[in-house]
């Protein structure tokens, strides 16, 4: 079995999260605003919720193992959103990640993404801690403050985020209505 | 399996573990203005699978109408994170009536009806499933009477997901994508587990709980899952967790037995081994002699080799011998949404004939 990647190992420290965003590439404004806001929302709601699920399942390997799969599917979804591709149906997300890896969340091939997310590793408490560390690093690398949207102390931040998202949409002439299905999917 | 005892025992144990009672949940609902509502504890606590960080999901069935698209209210109280969602009693009555009608349809119609359920009902699928197993603050499981209607509808969805995962696993293997084949196999295995659990009366669509339910279902006094499926799928899960290409190929072949067993239990044995498909219409815009843009009705496009346009084979068995390029092109079409292997496309006539024979017997 391939060795899992430790959160503090050079392999993880060397990951360039969100390479096109952090490298400074430019995009068509409307598409860039909608895709970046959609990705940020998915990360601060769904990924944060999965991190909470992982922590709760620290001593329940059967639950944690499937949370890892849900995280893999979510990252493939975020990758497609950032890449402006139609998001594949849920049934294809895990296989696509395992075969083709990620591009816009982090540039890595399928086997590397599989190892990083521990899809081949037994899910014990140490593995849960390792994965949470990786996901926190991913969230910290996004160029926006991706707080936990479900925590009461963050409600003000989330409302400001939504107001700012709305203004950014107005500025580039796109409809902020695309946020509605993301919000109701919670 | 005595589901009323199951859910009420689970609910009591959960509340004790959090040092709260039904009265606290009823008070929370009252404070939100749901004085005359039936307050229901739902989700993982009633299924006996909640973790230390699980939310408390409450549904308030109110005599007043509830506006469409109503979102849940998040409440944090004494360290508990509660979510309260109102649902109108009239909407719920209509949903249960439609579910009963749908449960009597042939499998393809059951699939199609449930897939478009959310667009035609105020009570979304996930909440309908939650309400069936819910425990009210008076301690009763008042909606479990609708479980016989939910089971054939929910099991059909899981069986369809299993079938599509199986087809794609075979295609990926033929296309030379072993990692994708393993991913599809994992999905097929989990969908088969969920279908088997649903057929035993334990419906919960959220995939993250499937394995935990599967292990619990193997416990004493549960008797939820068909013994052959319990044995085969438990072994298969152990195997798919190991990244070995030979094991993936072996387990994909083993899906045939799972399919036949599930098809039999679903009352639709003729569907195992079938490979109906639906192709979405698209227009072609040639780029050169070798390639064209395939433009879908949604305005999205992908570029593909013009040689890709080949129909899927008529049955599952033929997938084992199709060319790698053909398998790869079918897989790309499926991933792009242009091709679906859902059993929705299966004619209902065969299954209806089987039902008629079963009645005659």
Interchain CB distance below 8 Å, A66 and B210: yes
CA distance B37 to chain A (A): 23
Task: Categorize the per-residue pLDDT at B361 as very low, low, confident or very high, splitting at 50, 70 and 90.
Answer: very low
**Residues of chain B contacting A, Cβ within 8 Å:** 49, 51-54, 69, 71-72, 74, 76, 81, 161, 164-165, 168, 172, 177, 179-184, 186-187, 190, 207-212, 214-215, 241-243, 298, 300, 334-337
Q: Return d(Cα A96, Cα B181) in angstroms, integer.
A: 10
Cα B55 to Cα B45: distance, rounded to the nearest angstrom = 9
Per cent of chain B over pLDDT 70 is 96
Q: What is the ipTM of this complex?
A: 0.92
Q: How many CA atoms lie within 13 A of A66 on its CB side?
A: 18
Nearest Cα neighbor of B77 from B35, B24, B2 is B24
| Closest to B249 in 3D by CA, of B240, B238, B260 | B240
Tens digits of per-residue pLDDT, B207-219? 999 999 999 999 8
Q: Which of B271, B2, B323 is nearest to B160 (CA)?
A: B271
pLDDT tens track for B169-207: 999 999 999 999 999 999 999 999 999 999 999 999 999
Q: Do B207 and A66 touch (CB under 8 A)?
A: yes
Q: Which two tokens stand for residue B4?
A: 């009323």
> Which three-class secondary structure state does DSSP give residue A39?
helix
Q: Determine whether A11 is exposed, middle or buried from the number of CB atoms within 10 Å of its CB (0-12, 13-18, 19+).
A: middle
Q: How far apart are CA B184 and CA B190, in angstroms?
A: 10
Tell me what the mean pLDDT of segment B310-336 comes to. Answer: 92
Q: Got the DSSP string for B214-280?
A: HHHHTSTTT--S-HHHHHHHHHHHHHHTS--HHHHHHHHHHHHHHHHHHHHHTT-GGGTTB---EE-
In this complex, do A91 and B184 lie within 8 Å of one another by their Cβ atoms? yes
* pLDDT score, position A175: 87
Strands B291-296 and B135-136: unpaired
- Residue with tokens 């490979």, as numbered in its chain: B275
Nearest residue on chain B to A96, alpha-carbon basis: B180
Q: Where are the beta strands (DSSP E) in chain A?
A: none
The pTM of the full predicted model, rounded to 2 decimals, is 0.93
Contacts of A97 in chain B (CB under 8 A): 183
Give the whole-angstrom CA distance, residue B323 versus residue B171: 10
Which of B53, B124, B328 to substitute to test the interface with A, most A CBs within 10 Å?
B53
Locus of tokens 């949207």: A149
CA distance B229 to B256: 12
186 residues of chain A, pLDDT tens digit each: 444 444 455 556 789 999 999 999 999 999 999 999 999 999 999 999 999 999 999 999 999 999 999 999 999 999 999 999 999 999 999 999 999 999 999 999 999 999 999 999 889 999 999 999 999 999 999 999 998 887 888 888 888 888 899 899 999 999 888 877 766 655
Averaged pLDDT, B291-314: 88
């Amino acid at each position: 079995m391939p060795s899992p990647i430790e959160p503090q190992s050079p392999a993880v420290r060397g990951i360039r999260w969100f390479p096109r965003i952090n490298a400074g590439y430019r995009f068509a404004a409307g598409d860039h605003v909608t895709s970046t806001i959609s990705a940020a929302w998915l990360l601060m709601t769904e990924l944060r919720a999965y991190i909470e699920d992982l922590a709760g399942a620290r001593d329940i390997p059967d639950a944690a193992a499937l949370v890892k799969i849900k995280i893999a599917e979510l990252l493939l979804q975020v990758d497609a959103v950032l890449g402006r591709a139609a998001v594949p149906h849920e049934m294809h997300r895990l296989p696509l990640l395992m075969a083709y890896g990620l591009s816009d969340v982090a540039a890595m091939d399928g086997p590397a993404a599989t190892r990083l997310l521990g899809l081949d590793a037994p899910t014990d408490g140490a593995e849960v801690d390792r994965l949470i560390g990786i996901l926190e690093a991913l969230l910290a690398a996004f160029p926006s403050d991706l707080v936990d949207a479900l925590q009461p102390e963050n409600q003000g931040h989330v409302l400001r985020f939504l107001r700012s998202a709305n203004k950014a949409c107005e500025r580039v002439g796109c409809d902020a209505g695309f946020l509605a299905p993301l919000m109701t999917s919670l | 399996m005595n589901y009323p005892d199951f859910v009420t025992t689970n609910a009591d144990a959960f509340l004790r573990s959090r040092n709260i009672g039904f009265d606290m949940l009823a008070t929370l609902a009252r404070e939100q203005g749901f004085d005359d509502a039936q307050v229901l504890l739902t989700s993982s606590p009633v299924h006996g699978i909640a973790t230390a960080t699980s939310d408390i999901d409450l549904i308030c069935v109110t005599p007043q109408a509830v506006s469409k698209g109503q979102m849940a209210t998040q409440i944090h109280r004494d360290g508990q994170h509660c979510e309260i969602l109102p649902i109108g009693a009239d909407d719920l009555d209509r949903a249960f009536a439609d579910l009963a009608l749908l449960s009597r349809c042939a499998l393809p119609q059951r699939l199609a009806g449930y897939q478009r359920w959310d667009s035609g009902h105020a009570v979304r699928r996930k909440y309908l499933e939650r309400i069936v197993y819910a425990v009210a603050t008076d301690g009763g499981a008042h909606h479990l009477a609708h479980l016989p209607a939910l089971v054939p509808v929910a099991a059909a969805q899981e069986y369809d997901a299993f079938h599509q995962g199986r087809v794609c696993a075979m295609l990926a293997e033929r296309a030379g994508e072993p990692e994708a084949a393993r991913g599809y196999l994992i999905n097929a295995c989990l969908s088969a587990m969920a279908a088997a659990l649903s057929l035993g009366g334990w419906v919960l669509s959220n995939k993250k709980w499937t394995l935990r339910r599967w292990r619990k279902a193997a416990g004493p006094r549960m008797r939820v899952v068909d013994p052959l499926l319990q044995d085969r799928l438990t072994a298969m899960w152990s195997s798919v967790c190991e990244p070995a290409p030979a094991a993936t190929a072996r387990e994909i072949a083993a899906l045939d037995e799972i399919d036949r067993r599930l098809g039999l239990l679903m009352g639709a044995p003729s569907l195992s081994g079938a490979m109906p498909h639906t192709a979405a219409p698209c227009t072609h815009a040639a780029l050169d002699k070798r390639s064209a843009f395939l433009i879908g009705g949604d305005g999205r496009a992908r570029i593909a080799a013009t040689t890709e346009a080949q129909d899927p084979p008529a049955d599952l068995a033929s997938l084992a011998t199709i060319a790698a390029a053909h398998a790869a092109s079918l897989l790309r079409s499926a991933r792009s949404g242009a091709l679906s292997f859902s059993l929705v496309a299966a004619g209902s006539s065969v299954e209806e004939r089987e039902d008629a024979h079963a009645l005659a017997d």
